[in-house]
Chain A
């Protein structure tokens, strides 16, 4: 009976300690987390996309978008085999890893290096759409139409525009 009380108190102390130890990291992250993010890599064609980060924070865990750079180990076994413990990187924004031009010549040549593992990392546009639409379609909530996220620029007189093709014709 006495032993059980001892075990219980030890358990409580360990729990409190781990909570306290984990607390500074969590608060530090929370402080950095922005409420709204404007994704404007395509802003030459469309208005920037307003992304409600706080809203998505309540729906999804950090790893679902930030993989292994936001303090938690990745859920994807293909990533976690190397990135066992999550690190908090200085930059956690998508475009620091997912390139706006994923098919430029030097990268294609670098991918031919046999020891390279990251040969199939999507570009920025692909990463956004695959992640956003993948979730929105699966949960049947959230915007899925083009203009639901991408507001057309007012002075855009061209009938229709897809990515870089407008620029080419202009």
Chain B
């Protein structure tokens, strides 16, 4: 009996199982700390943003012109000579692409007697899905709040386009050698990094776009909801959507009436994959060693069994 236990300390099935349980337990115990560290991020304190007030926008598309000039893109279709809100070309729903980082679409709601204009561009999420989806770290969330993109490391996998809940990143397909993701960068290089508002905000004649710190914009939005009851739908789009966005919206009608996607989840997109992603390092680092160990032990056990089988049998018979 004594001999058996001594042999057991070298390796028996029981000690092997113990080791496996211990390894899994350590792996699991390491996970909560990783989760909680990611949970605590609620955006930078210096995060700037823009409050878009749909009750003020008249659909002049000055923001589109300013954006195209700022980024050296082709000027938007149609002249802005006059304020003509019902021109047919505004009625189709466009989305930002490689030639226009921002677009204004017109919506007609039965709940509102005026046409509604919604400006669309990158919302610069507090926890961007594009950034977390990118495996070469081409995206950066700057302390100023901009989500910027580095084309020099991008491999062109376009995962960010799939990940974005607002369908913003666009790919420049028409250039074979200069293909890259094109999206609004909050005018980071030219303006935001110097503390200035983006070009679209400066161009807006109705001040439908208000630039400021995000926390301050939320206060301004709530002040408008309080001071002008009845003028607004009592919610701020972007306060919680996709975990919070830098661009916030006020609308006179429920947001789905004005072309907003209200199915966007309220927590960061990252939260849906975090549990899975937390397992990936464990699988990649622990499993190879663990299973290789099990394999080797099993193999050596077999050879040991062959040599010691006779002794074992004799021991067992004595005990019985």
Q: Tell whether A122 is near chain B: CB-to-CB under 8 Å.
A: yes
The residues of B that contact A144 with a CB separation of less than 8 Å are 83
CA–CA, A120 to B222, complex, Å? Answer: 11
Contact-residue bracket for chain A? 20 to 34
- A165 engages B199 (CB within 8 Å): yes
**Of residues 111 to 170 in A, which have CB atoms within 8 Å of B's CB atoms?**
111-112, 119-120, 122-123, 125-127, 129-130, 133, 144-147, 159-160, 162-165, 168-169
Q: Which of A120, A123, A130 has the most CB of B within 10 A?
A: A120
The residues of A that contact B58 with a CB separation of less than 8 Å are 133
Indicate whether A169 sits within 8 Å of B69 (C-beta atoms), given known contacts A105-B195, A120-B223, A126-B206. yes
CA–CA, A147 to B272, complex, Å? Answer: 51
Partner of B79, one of A119, A120, A160, A169: A160
- One of B17-25, B87-95, B208-216, B241-249 at the interface: B208-216
Q: Tell whether A51 is near chain B: CB-to-CB under 8 Å.
A: no
Contact-residue bracket for chain B? 35 or more
Against A, the Cβ 8 Å flags (1 = close, 0 = not) of B189-214 are 00000011101011111110011110
Q: Tell whether A108 is near chain B: CB-to-CB under 8 Å.
A: yes
B132 to chain A, nearest CB (A): 29
- A119 engages B220 (CB within 8 Å): yes
B210 to chain A, nearest CB (A): 8
Q: In the A-B complex, list the 8 residue pairs whose CB atoms are closest, starting with the nearest.
A: A126-B207, A162-B62, A105-B195, A103-B197, A103-B211, A165-B66, A120-B220, A78-B227
A-B contact pairs, 13 of them (CB 8 A): A102-B207, A108-B211, A108-B212, A119-B223, A120-B220, A126-B206, A129-B206, A146-B82, A160-B65, A162-B205, A165-B65, A165-B66, A165-B203
Give me the interface of B with A, judged by CB distance under 8 Å.
Answer: 56, 58, 60, 62, 65-66, 69-70, 75, 79-83, 195-197, 199, 201-207, 210-213, 215-216, 219-220, 223-224, 227
